[in-house]
Structure 1
Amino acid sequence: MKYRNIKSGKYDSEKEKHRADLLKLLEKQGEISNLKEQVKFELIPSQKIDGKLIERACSYIADFTYCDVHGNFIVEDTKGFKTKDYIIKRKLMLSVHGIKIKEV
């Protein structure tokens, strides 16, 4: 249990589960398309010196990605509490991938 969230099946919180249910309904209705869950984005590649791993890659895992009705690619995160790590990764997503995370 992280930050007093109660896991709900495969989801980290009830809020995330409810959002997933809503997005699945919107996809069935044709309002969004290509819904995916737990999508990994590499932010900083692994670092090696002389073939030896010095630092592992740094990644961000989005709760959901999808295309809206206008064809815009959306990366969404269901947040209850914004950790310092998340804030840094949010900034890296914008800097590295040009993606502003939609926070719900």
Structure 2
Amino acid sequence: MSAQQFLKMQRAGQVGGETKDRRRVQGTKRTQTSDGLWHDSGSEAKRWEQLLLLQRDGAICGLRRQVDIPLWGRDGPIMTDKGTKQRVCRADFIYVDNALGCTVIEDRKGHITEKSALVLSILQAQSMRVLITHSGKPSEALLKTNFDRQKT
């Protein structure tokens, strides 16, 4: 086996003939929507279809998906560990709500992780509000966190 073949197998998650589960979130299944786009989960795909209907009906406009939002700190851009690139938050959906007249940044979550809570805090410090939509019942901790943030 050549080094290139080994690297190719490693990137594909194959070691010794076994395939590892390389999904970012365990238990999600990549799903294709009717417009041919692939989404990280069935829940995200379903939400995309809902947003397309809302856009068609004129409730929202400018719908985009997987948009990178640069992260900034007090002293400038937040950089990767190597310091070569600026860190970003990849929002699932961004659109303009015509009734509210504002841009909505939407992220589809099954549950809030420590990393996502940190990124949400950074975005809030940048004066951005993010709408978290859930595939299931919202957790109590998330509701409390969002409520506390709205008070300040």
TM-score (norm 1): 0.85
Structure exhibiting the larger radius of gyration computed from Cα positions: 2
1:21 to 41, 49, 60: 49
Q: Give 2:130's aligned amino acid.
A: I
Superposition misfits of 4+ residues, deviation over 4 angstroms: none
Q: Displacement, 1:46?
A: 5.7
- Please identify which structure carries the higher strand content: 1
Conserved in 2, the CA contact under 8 Å of 1:76 and 1:101?
A: yes
Query: Residue 57 of structure 1 aligns to a residue in which SS?
Result: coil
CA contact under 8 A between 1:46 and 1:55: conserved in structure 2? no
SS of equivalent to 2:39: coil
Bigger relative contact order, structure 1 or 2, given CA contacts below 8 A and separation 6+? 1
Q: Select between 16-25 and 4-13 the one with higher mean Cα deviation.
A: 4-13
Partner of 1:50: none
How high is the sequence identity, in percent, across the aligned residues?
Answer: 26
The answer (yes or no) to whether the contact 1:68–1:74 under 8 Å persists in 2 is yes
- Show structure 1 runs of 5+ residues with no match: 48-52
Paired residue type of 1:16: E
The structure with more helix, counted as a fraction of residues: 2
Please name the residue that 1:86 is paired with.
Answer: 116
Query: Aligned partners of 1:30 and 1:64: how far apart in 2?
Result: 17
The answer to whether structure 1 residue 103 and structure 2 residue 132 are counterparts is yes
Distance in 2, Cα, partners of 1:57 & 1:22: 32
Equivalent residue for 1:75? 105
Whole-angstrom CA distance in 2 between matches of 1:88 and 1:46: 13
1:56 corresponds to which letter in structure 2? K
**Number of corresponding residues:** 98
Separation in 2 of the partners of 1:90 and 1:25?
Answer: 27
Counterpart for residue 39 of structure 1 = 67
- 1:46 and 1:103, CA in 2 relative to 1: closer, same or farther beyond 3 A? closer
Distance 1:46 1:78 in 2: 23
